[in-house]
Amino acid sequence: MKHILIIDDDIYIGNIIEEALIKEGYQVLRAYSGTEAIYVLSASTPDLILLDLMLPGLSGEEVLPQIKGIPVIVVSAKIDVDDKVALLIGGAADYITKPFEMKELLARITVALRGSAVSANSVLSFDNLRLDITAHEVFVGQQRANLTRTEYAILKILMQNPSQVIAKSVLLERISEDTPDCTDNSLKTHISHLRKKLRDIGEKEYIDAVWGIGFKLKPE
C-alpha cells in the first residue's frame, strides 16, 4: 500500500483529499505546518507528498528543498507561471492549482508514482534509511549521512540484501567493486564507524553483528 503525506493547514481541503485517497487504496499521513512536516519526514518516508505552499511555520517553498528522493506534487492557489516553473526546477514532480478536480489530482498522483517506480531501482530503502545509488548519497530520514566510500559500499551491499546475513568474506569480495580500501583487518572498524554514524542520526541500531558469520540489517 502506498503512503501519501498531505501537508496542508486547510483542514477542510485536507479531509476531502484524504477521503478520496483512502477510497483509492492509499494510506494517508497528515501535517498541518511546514515545521510539523519536517518532523513527520524525520520519522517516516512516504511514497509521495502533496505540498501546499502557504503554511504556518516553514512555507512550502522552504520545505521543498529539504525533501529528498520523494516525489512532491505542489497543490497551491498560486497560479503565476513563474512560481510553477521555479518550483518544478526546484524539485517538485508536478504542480496543480487550487481549486482542482479530484479526478485530475488522482491522475497526477498515479503518474508521479509511476515515474517514481521507474527510478526505484536506483534507490534502496530500509526502515527510514534511503540509499541513492545514482547520487551516491545516504539519508536517515531526511538527514544526509556523511559516509566514507567504504562505509557506503558496505551499507549498499547490506541494503541490497535486507533479509540476509552477509558473511565477512562475501562483504570483502563484493565491496571491492566500489572501494579497494577495505581489508579483513579493517572491516570491523569500518562497520563500527558506519553503525555509529547511522545510530547518531537515527537514534537506533541499524546493523546487527551475527557472531561468527557476518552482518545483517536489523529489522524494526
Instruction: Provide DSSP, 141-208.
Output: TTEEE---HHHHHHHHHHHHSTTSPEEHHHHHHHHTTT-S---TTTHHHHHHHHHHHHHHHHSS--EE
Per-residue confidence band for 206, with pLDDT thresholds at 50, 70 and 90: very high
- Predicted confidence (pLDDT) at residue 80 exceeds the cutoff of 80: no
* Domains of the chain: residue spans and CATH: 3-118 (3.40.50.2300), 123-217 (1.10.10.10)
Per-residue confidence band for 25, with pLDDT thresholds at 50, 70 and 90: very high
Res 37: pLDDT = 95
Per-residue confidence band for 157, with pLDDT thresholds at 50, 70 and 90: confident
Per-residue confidence band for 30, with pLDDT thresholds at 50, 70 and 90: very high
17 is written with which cell numbers? Answer: 483529499
Mean pLDDT value across the chain: 87
Strand arrangement of the beta sheet that strand 72-76 belongs to: 27-31, 3-7, 48-51, 72-76, 94-97
Residue 60 burial by CB count (10 A; 0-12/13-18/19+): exposed, middle or buried? buried
Nearest to 113 by CA among 220, 217, 26: 26
Lowest mean pLDDT among 8-22, 26-40, 95-109, 110-124: 110-124
- Predicted confidence (pLDDT) at residue 111 exceeds the cutoff of 60: yes
- Predicted confidence (pLDDT) at residue 123 exceeds the cutoff of 90: no
CA dist., res. 188 & res. 185, Å (int): 7
**Residue position matching grid coordinates 492549482:** 97
Per-residue confidence band for 121, with pLDDT thresholds at 50, 70 and 90: low
Average pLDDT over residues 37-65: 91
Average pLDDT over residues 109-116: 84
Helix (H, G, I), strand (E, B) or coil at 12: helix
Q: Which residues, 6+ apart, have CB-to-CB distance to 12 below 8 Å? A: none
Res 118: pLDDT = 54
Nearest to 37 by CA among 56, 12, 22: 56
Per residue in 159-191, pLDDT (tens digit) is 888 888 888 888 887 777 666 667 777 888 999
CA dist., res. 98 & res. 22, Å (int): 20
